[in-house]
Chains A and B, each alone.
Chain A
Amino acid sequence: MNPPYTPGEAAGALPASGAALSALSVDDERIKARAAAETRQDAVFHWSLFAAAGLVLLVLGAAAASMLWGGREAFATFGWHFIVSDEWDAVGHRFGAFVPIYGTLVSSAIAMIIAIPVSFGIALFLTEIAPTWLRGPIGSAIELLAGIPSIIYGMWGLFSFVPFMAANVLPWVDRNLGAIPWVGPLFRGPPLGIGMLTAGIVLGIMVIPFISSVMRDVFQTVPAALKESAYALGSTTWEVVWKVVLPYTRSAVVGGIFLGLGRALGETMAVTFVLGNAHQLSASLLMPGNSIAATIANEFTEADSDIYLSSLIALGFLLFIVTFVVLTIARLMLYNLARKEGR
């Protein structure tokens, strides 16, 4: 009696005539059939998404496990000493991860100190200050920084930026900042050009487009009503951004910062060119150092013994651990902040 069900009908097509109206009888069977179909579709959808999320977990687990497996010889030979030892003797087969871990943390910290305020400033400019016709081009220009191959950052760093730093910036830093009482030792050193400070700056520049793009996008999702009410009360632009936009988008902004942090911790090519790959611990930011990714990139392809290879892979596994620790600390801080706000 009922004509075959077509989606078009039920999706709101108006009946053309009285005859058609009677054909649109909405009886229990049809509703039940449709509800069942949609429940199935929803279940399929839900489980596919669940599988995708599970895949992310699986990929990381497998990658970490494969690194752990590759590094087992190093961990078995050196034990806990591996993490705190600053030796790195490829000939004598004694390896320690402290210098690379230290370098990774310091260069990433410098990168974030540079990148976060700059990205925030760029997002502020693109969403509030710039005239509408300028936003597209400038936004694309900043994203261009993300599209530059990391090896070009390395090469530009080595051939252009390093000589510039060595000739112009680092002597100034050594003379002036090196004289400040407490933080002086951080800034004293020969103007080699390569080193933690240079690497941190290059990393910061690489990371800027990631953070600023995310910030810009989320700033634009703030409902106009919220901002308008703030303006109506007489707020300045800065106050609207700092007190309305930023708190509203805080979680996403933090997400963007984590995106940048992830890039900084794991960046390989740019850092290998400008960090110097020196397995020496030094308080000064002007001295060459090493990072986990740079050590692996510089030495993996020429490693000539099994324990050497295993130590390098163990370093890769340790980076997972370092990231785990850094992210846990960051999340605990955010959790405390949210608790204070009553969330």
Chain B
Amino acid sequence: MLRATGFFYRRRRAVDLIAKTLGVAATGFGLFWLAWILVVTLSNGVHAISPAIFTQNTPPPGGEGGLANALFGSLMMSLLGVAIGAPLGIAAGTYLAEFAERHHTWRESVRFVNDILLSAPSIVLGLFVYTLAVRPVGHFSGWAGGIALALIVLPVVVRTTDETLRLVPNVMREAALSLGIPRWKVTMQVLYRAAAPGILTGVLLGLARISGETAPLLFTSLNNQFWAGSLNQPNSSVPVVVFQFAMSPYESWHALAWAGAFIVTVFVLVLSVATRAYLLRNRVEAAA
């Protein structure tokens, strides 16, 4: 039979090989930076990592302590941010992808506006929530912090939900609708299941982003060196504590700052892997 020796065929194979090599190189590039940052973070913070980090509150300079209040505050406010931002984002994204077929201008405007919101610096959103939720009430609070984080999660989730739903093949919609299922069931029980990986990625990206945000929290939830216990008062959070400790001259505070950053990163990773494993456990990956 014909052997694959022609010039064009060889060239195509070469291009394919180069592309694959570049793909591997790109991944190596990304992993290189990750490794460097993690090594620096870990080496700077390792001597502060101990069970005390989870049980003791932030200490004064030179004192022994941990990050319990900061971890709790971060957890509460991030969950609040996702709890507010993700459902709203999924709802808005669904609207844009499914229910606005006949309103082209309205749909494109909302998409456009969402993209602008996506690019808003977190400090600007923090100042906005300060005007809304701190000044009128007269004090800083964990609620304001959660709302600020929700505003950061919202556009990310809207974008990814919108895009992912648009990629679900029309066959599925048509098949479900032809069975007489109401549209809301089609969306919730068929389309969401098909788009679950993408929507989940959006929510997890939003969560990853807000876990590391300092500036919006500084103007909404301030900080608290004690255990706050409720969201009605200023709450501590890991990024704010990292910011304050890292910029100080004390070694013990530096170590805690790096350790805190490491814990947040690992937490986001674990959450991401766990949620994917649980929610997508029954999926079968399409053959490449």
Give the B-binding residues of A (Cβ under 8 A). Answer: 38-39, 41-42, 44-46, 48-53, 55-57, 59-63, 66-67, 70, 117-122, 124-130, 132, 136, 138, 140-153, 155-156, 159-160, 205, 208-210, 212-214, 217-218, 220-221, 223-224, 227, 236-239, 241-242, 249, 251-252, 255-256, 258-259, 261-263, 265-269, 292-293, 296-297, 300-301, 313, 316, 319-320, 323-324, 327-328, 331
Q: Complex: how many Å from CA A251 to CA B169?
A: 14
Contact of A258 among B159, B242, B287 (CB under 8 A): B159
> B-side binding surface: helix, strand, loop or mixed?
helix
Q: Complex: how many Å from CA A319 to CA B95?
A: 27
The verdict on B272 contacting chain A, using a C-beta distance below 8 Å, is: yes
Contact of B162 among A147, A210, A255 (CB under 8 A): A255
The verdict on B255 contacting chain A, using a C-beta distance below 8 Å, is: no
For window 182-224 of B, CB contacts with A under 8 Å fall at 182-184, 187, 197-198, 201, 204-205, 208-209, 211-215, 218
With A147-B269, A147-B272: A210-B197 Cβ-Cβ less than 8 Å: no
Q: Whose C-beta in chain A lies nearest to the C-beta of B171?
A: A223
Measured between beta carbons, the chain A residues less than 8 angstroms from B281 are none
Q: Complex: how many Å from CA A150 to CA B123?
A: 13
Cross-chain contact B29 with A118 (CB below 8 angstroms):
yes
Measured between beta carbons, the chain A residues less than 8 angstroms from B112 are 327-328, 331
Cross-chain contact A53 with B115 (CB below 8 angstroms):
no
The verdict on B154 contacting chain A, using a C-beta distance below 8 Å, is: yes
The verdict on B52 contacting chain A, using a C-beta distance below 8 Å, is: no
For window 14-58 of B, CB contacts with A under 8 Å fall at 15-16, 19-20, 22-27, 29-31, 33-34, 36-38, 40-41
Q: Complex: how many Å from CA A27 to CA B272?
A: 50
Cross-chain contact B272 with A143 (CB below 8 angstroms):
yes
Contact of A147 among B30, B120, B212 (CB under 8 A): B212
Cross-chain contact A239 with B24 (CB below 8 angstroms):
no
Contact of A150 among B12, B128, B214 (CB under 8 A): B214
Cross-chain contact B201 with A217 (CB below 8 angstroms):
yes
Cross-chain contact A151 with B88 (CB below 8 angstroms):
no
A321 to chain B, nearest CB (A): 9
Q: Which stretch, B59-67, B136-144, B228-236, B260-268, touches the partner chain A? A: B260-268
Cross-chain contact A223 with B169 (CB below 8 angstroms):
yes
The verdict on B239 contacting chain A, using a C-beta distance below 8 Å, is: yes
With A238-B16, A327-B112: A142-B128 Cβ-Cβ less than 8 Å: no
Measured between beta carbons, the chain B residues less than 8 angstroms from A223 are 169
With A149-B211, A252-B166: A122-B23 Cβ-Cβ less than 8 Å: yes
Cross-chain contact A66 with B166 (CB below 8 angstroms):
no
Q: Whose C-beta in chain A lies nearest to the C-beta of B31?
A: A141
The verdict on B124 contacting chain A, using a C-beta distance below 8 Å, is: yes
Identify 27 residue pairs between A and B in the complex whose beta-carbon atoms are under 8 Å apart, listed by A's number: A49-B92, A55-B88, A56-B92, A59-B154, A120-B26, A124-B26, A125-B27, A128-B23, A136-B273, A140-B269, A141-B31, A141-B34, A142-B34, A147-B208, A151-B212, A152-B242, A221-B164, A221-B198, A224-B287, A236-B15, A241-B19, A252-B163, A252-B167, A255-B162, A262-B115, A262-B118, A266-B120
Cross-chain contact A118 with B30 (CB below 8 angstroms):
yes
The verdict on B282 contacting chain A, using a C-beta distance below 8 Å, is: no
Cross-chain contact B31 with A127 (CB below 8 angstroms):
no
Give the A-binding residues of B (Cβ under 8 A). Answer: 12-13, 15-16, 19-20, 22-27, 29-31, 33-34, 36-38, 40-41, 88-89, 91-92, 94-96, 98-100, 109-110, 112-125, 127-128, 131-132, 151, 154-156, 158-160, 162-164, 166-169, 182-184, 187, 197-198, 201, 204-205, 208-209, 211-215, 218, 238-239, 242-243, 246, 257-258, 261, 264-265, 267-269, 272-273, 285-288
Cross-chain contact A66 with B243 (CB below 8 angstroms):
no
Measured between beta carbons, the chain A residues less than 8 angstroms from B20 are 124, 128-129, 237-238
B44 to chain A, nearest CB (A): 8
Measured between beta carbons, the chain B residues less than 8 angstroms from A136 are 273
Contact of A268 among B88, B123, B246 (CB under 8 A): B123
Q: Complex: how many Å from CA A58 to CA B124?
A: 16
Q: Complex: how many Å from CA A122 to CA B34?
A: 14
Q: Whose C-beta in chain B lies nearest to the C-beta of A143?
A: B272
Q: Whose C-beta in chain A lies nearest to the C-beta of B168?
A: A221
Q: Whose C-beta in chain A lies nearest to the C-beta of B257?
A: A155
